[in-house]
Amino acid sequence: MGLLRYTIRRLLQLIPVLFGIVTLTFVMMHALPGDPVRLWLGTEPGQELADELIEAHGFDRPMHEQYVDYLVRLAQGDLGHSFVYNRPVVDLMWERMEPTLVVMGLSYLVALPVALGLGIYGAARHNRAGDHVSRFAGLAGISTPNFWLALMMIYMFSYNFGLLPATGYTSPFVDPVEAAVLLIMPVLTLATAQTALLMRMTRSSMIEEMREDYVETARAYGIPERKILLRHSFRNALLPLVTIVGLQVSTLLGGSVIVEEIFAIPGLGRLFFDSVIEQDYSVAVGVTLFFSTLFLIGVVLTDIAYAYIDPRIKYD
């Protein structure tokens, strides 16, 4: 009950931010250069046709009216019309949603266990050789540009060794084996920095937890170090990690632009990039809006998870 109420309240809190994002995207759409009418009709459109199109899409109406119209359409789940594809933006995005979410989900799936393992290991070996190595690896991980990593992997594994296909996408729900082979490099590209970051987080919050009084007490009672580490410290150390996982949605979505472009994955990131290049801005703005919303949902979800995990928080 309490959790439900908390969830609802968190969702309500999103409204002003969401509203702000919608407004910002509206501003973006109108600030971006390029003329959708000319995009669709060519450089020298007949005036009649152009007028028709302008009227149909309301480009000639005052800004505030267009804004209200934009809000109304959004509320109906209409993100506008792509002038390059001559199709609704929502349809285009819907077709490309799966790859982006799959790659993102898989990078979490790879990053989390590795990060937790290495992080706890580092904390347990605090200031010893193992810790230094993992710490250095963590630093190196967050310092590696993902686009460079992607290129190097293609060069090594696809071209030099011929081990992995350089590009392409197959849905893991259709052909899991082929999907696994295809997605190894894109997922690793996204997961590397992710792993490093989460690992550093885990390590430092574990170290912090182990300085707490209760750990001393537990030690004094002769509880084995291993048990203290995994039973008590870990649970508490998990909390900030949960938050970070939610916040990283944003970084991963940004990274999808690069990864999808390099590995030719038919996802939203590539749709976004291509539409910016072609000035198909209703699409670019639609994807931006979707990414931001996804991020906000991620944040709320982690908040809820947080409330659920943390025994100190009472939601009512």
Partner 1 sequence: MTDNLNQSHLDRRRFVKSMAAAGSVGLFAGCVGSDPEESEDGGVFVIATTDEVETFDPRQNQLAWYSSAAHYLFDSLLLQSPDGSEFEPHLAVDHPEEIDETTYVVEIRDDVEFHDDWGQLTAEDVEYSINWVLDPDNASPNQSNVAYIDEAEATGEFEVTLHLEYPSGLMDRSLAHMNAAPIVCKEAAEEMGDEEFGQNPVGSGPFKLENHDPSSSVELVANADYFLGEPILEGLEYRIIPEAEVGYVNLAQGDLHQSGVTEELLGEAEEDDDIDTYQLSNMDFQGFILNSLEGPFTDVRAREAVHHLIDYDEVLDAAAGSLAGRNWGHMPQETVDAWDFPADEWEENYYPEQDHDRAVELFEEAGVGTDFEVDLVMTAGEANEGRSLVLQNEFEEVGIDCDIREISTGDWLEALNQADYDITTYGWGGNDDPDGYYYHMFRDLQNDEGGMDDDVVGHSSIGYLYEGSRERGDDDVLEDLDRLDDLVREAQATVAQEERREYYVEAAEIVLSLYPVIGVYSAESVTGVHTNVQNYEPSEFGEQEAFNHWQEASIDE
Partner 2 sequence: MSGEGVPANDAEFHDEGGVLETLTKLRHSPTSLAGLLIIFALVLMALFSAVDNFVFDRAIITWLHADPHAMDQSMRYDDPSWEHPMGTDRYGRDMLSRVIYGSRTALTIGIVAVGISFVGGVIIGAVSAFFGGYVDDFLMRSVEILYAIPGLVLAIIFMAIFGPSIYNLFIAYGIVGIPAYARVMRSEALSIRDRQYVEAAKLAGLPRRTILFREIVPNGIAPVVVQATLSMGGVIIGAAALSFLGFGVQPPTPDWGRMLSDGRTAMVVAWWVAVFPGIMIFITVMGFNMLGDGLRDVMDPKMTVEATPYDDWNIDEWKEKQRAATTESDLAPDTPTTRADGSGPQEGDRS
Q: Which does 143 bind (CB under 5 to 8 A by kind): partner 2, partner 1, none?
A: partner 2
Q: Is residue 205 at the binding interface for partner 2, with CB under 8 A as the rule?
A: yes
Stretch that binds partner 1, among 69-77, 162-170, 183-191, 206-214 (CB under 8 A): 162-170
Instruction: Check binding of 310 to partner 1 (CB under 8 A).
Output: no
What residue 106 binds from partner 1, partner 2, none (CB within 5 to 8 A, per partner kind)?
none
* Number of neighbours of residue 60 by Cβ within 10 angstroms: 9
Residues 154-193: x where in contact with partner 2 by CB under 8 A, - otherwise, as a string = xx---x---------------------------------x
The item of partner 1, partner 2, none sharing an interface with residue 303, based on CB under 5 to 8 Å by kind, is partner 2
Distance CA 28, CA 7 (A): 31
When CB distances are held under 5 to 8 angstroms depending on the partner's kind, the choice from partner 2, partner 1, none that residue 43 binds is: partner 1
Buried b / exposed e along 237-252 (16+ C-beta atoms within 10 A): bbbebbebbbebbbeb
Would you give the binding string for partner 1 spanning residues 11-50, x where CB under 8 A is met?
Answer: ----------------------xxx--xxxxxxxxxx-xx
Q: Closest distance between partner 2 and the C-beta of residue 305, in Å?
A: 11
How far apart are CB 44 and partner 1 at their closest, in Å?
Answer: 5
- Of the candidate spans 4-12, 136-144, 230-238, 257-265, the one that interacts with partner 1 by CB under 8 A turns out to be 257-265
CB of 144 to partner 2, least distance (A): 6
Nearer to partner 1, 127 or 167 (CB): 167
What is the 3-state secondary structure of the chain?
CHHHHHHHHHHHHHHHHHHHHHHHHHHHHHHCCCCHHHHHHCCCCCHHHHHHHHHHHCCCCCHHHHHHHHHHHHHCCCCCEECCCCEEHHHHHHHHHHHHHHHHHHHHHHHHHHHHHHHHHHHHCCCCHHHHHHHHHHHHHHHCCHHHHHHHHHHHHHHHCCCCCCCCCCCCCCCHHHHHHHHHHHHHHHHHHHHHHHHHHHHHHHHHHHCCHHHHHHHHCCCCHHHHHHHHHHHHHHHHHHHHHHHHHHHHHHHHHHHHHHHCCCCHHHHHHHHHHCCCHHHHHHHHHHHHHHHHHHHHHHHHHHHHHCCCCCCC
The 131-160 site mask, x for binding partner 2 (CB under 8 A), equals: ----xx--xx-xxxxxxx--xx-xx---x-
Report in angstroms how near the CB of residue 219 gets to partner 2 at its nearest.
20
The footprint of partner 1 on residues 73-92 (CB under 8 A) is 84-87, 92
Q: Which residues bind partner 1 (CB under 8 A)?
A: 33-35, 38-47, 49-50, 84-87, 92, 95-96, 154, 158-159, 162, 165-169, 261-262, 264-267, 270-271, 274, 276-279
